[in-house]
Amino acid sequence: MKRWMSLVFLLVVSGCGSNEETQELSLSTEPIDVEIQPISEAVVGEEITIETLVTQEDYPVEDAQAVEIEIRFEGQSEGALFPAENDGEGLYRSTHTFAEAGVYEIQSHVTARGMHVMPVQKLQVEE
């Protein structure tokens, strides 16, 4: 019995020594900060990259559970959702090609560390 308890204790203690900084940030009560990076230009038929930066207490969030980009015409309540891939350093990217000119709303849906943040940015797509 003693040997079994020693093994359990060893497993519990060895599991606690992982990256303390990551553990502290993931347990932080500070909100995550989500910023859609500015898009300088969008033209019908040309692919653009939409980047979302996710941080918490000025540190990149690499462990977001979900990051999706919603694209809709300005004023619409719902649009199309596209997954964003983790590109490192808290940056999540998705690409899109617009079929029509107009004003769009780009909204990032980020779920990370028990929080959900959804910033919106307008984008003018030209012919």
Q: What's the fold here for domain 31-126?
A: Immunoglobulin-like (2.60.40)
pLDDT tens-digit map of 35-49: 999 999 999 999 999
pLDDT tens-digit map of 97-127: 999 999 999 999 999 999 999 999 999 999 9
- Tell me the C-alpha distance between 68 and 80, whole Å: 10
Domain boundary assignment for the chain: 31-126
- Quote the percentage of the chain above a pLDDT of 70: 79
